[in-house]
């Protein structure tokens, strides 16, 4: 396991390398990577190119920051797809409806789940979330995969995880932590 002294995008290259090398070593066929603007997703797609590993890049829903807009541009999407990546743009499992409930009534169970997962770092929360999203889309088998995410931009967390769909969220199993920041 690799501990980074600080969270952040400066750990992206190393996290991508760790995830890819562990996938090769363990014969894991899917790496799911969170990528809002596409930088980390493109790095992962480039790293996996020519291997038997399928990079699945997950970005959040259109309208996250501005109505009808996605931060992942069509140009970056095209580059990722040309390098063999698959892209999911979808509703964040641990955010949307419950965020509306929280803003109206001050509390939601999902916010509690978010807070507990963030005790391990923002990247851990996102790794679990994107695994459920990819499972909901039917893009991954129900076998161990690697999930990569980060704190803010970039990647600083990688885990081996057994996926499950969002309606079976609590059956997701974090098997191993491959990399995470110590200070987040």
Gap between the Cα atoms of 62 and 33, Å rounded: 18
The C-alpha angle 144, 7, 85, rounded to 5 degrees, equals 45
Number of domains making up the chain: 1
Indicate whether 86 belongs to any domain: yes
pLDDT in tens, 26-79: 999 999 999 999 999 999 999 999 999 999 999 987 777 788 888 888 999 999
Please report which confidence band the pLDDT of residue 171 belongs to, taking 50, 70 and 90 as the band edges: very high
Q: Is the pTM of this model over 0.85?
A: yes
Indicate whether 145 belongs to any domain: yes
Gap between the Cα atoms of 99 and 26, Å rounded: 37
pLDDT in tens, 85-128: 999 998 787 766 676 677 777 777 888 888 899 999 999 999 99
Tell me, what CATH number does 26's domain have?
Answer: 3.40.1380.20
Residue 23 and residue 146 in contact, taking contact as beta carbons nearer than 8 Å: yes
Q: Which domain holds residue 160?
A: 2-60+70-93+123-181
Residue-level pLDDT at 104: 77
Indicate whether 169 belongs to any domain: yes
């Amino acid at each position: 396991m690799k501990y980074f002294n600080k969270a952040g995008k400066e750990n992206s290259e190393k996290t991508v390398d760790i995830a890819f090398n562990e996938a090769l070593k363990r014969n894991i066929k899917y790496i799911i990577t969170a990528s809002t603007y596409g930088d980390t997703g493109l790095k992962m797609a480039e790293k996996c190119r020519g291997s038997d590993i399928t990079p699945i890049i997950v970005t959040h829903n259109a309208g996250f920051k501005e109505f009808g807009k996605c931060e992942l541009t069509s140009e970056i999407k095209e580059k990722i797809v040309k390098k063999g990546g698959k892209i999911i743009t979808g509703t964040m499992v641990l955010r949307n409806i419950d965020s509306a409930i929280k803003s109206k009534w001050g509390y939601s169970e999902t916010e509690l789940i978010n807070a507990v997962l963030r005790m391990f770092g923002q990247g851990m929360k996102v790794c679990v979330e994107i695994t459920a999203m990819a499972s909901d889309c039917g893009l991954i088998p129900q076998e161990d995969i690697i999930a990569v995410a980060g704190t803010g931009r970039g990647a600083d967390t990688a885990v081996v995880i057994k996926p499950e769909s969002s309606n079976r969220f609590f059956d997701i199993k974090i098997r191993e932590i491959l990399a995470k920041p110590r200070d987040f």
